[in-house]
Amino acid sequence: MVKIILRNQEFEVRPGMTLRDALRKCGLLPETVLATRGGEMITEDEILADGEVIKLVAVISGG
């Protein structure tokens, strides 16, 4: 499985899907996050492999 972490939330998705599909599966909009793998930013077409951990950076702030 692939682990996706956003702040204190954790999601798990099946390997083999793109980041874009994984975000959709988790109910997240690609526009609201940046995805990193091993500290490097990745684009939405990246295929996620089994055992990977994807850390998301929330980008929206306000007030």
Assess 38 for contact with other proteins (CB under 8 A).
no
Long-range contacts of 54-58 (CB under 8 A, 24+ apart): 54/2, 54/3, 54/4, 54/5, 54/19, 54/22, 55/5, 56/4, 56/5, 56/6, 56/28, 57/33, 58/6, 58/7, 58/32, 58/33
| # residues near other proteins by CB under 8 A | 20
Assess 61 for contact with other proteins (CB under 8 A).
yes
Interacting residue with other proteins among 45, 48, 50, 52 (CB under 8 A):
45
Interacting residue with other proteins among 5, 9, 15, 43 (CB under 8 A):
43
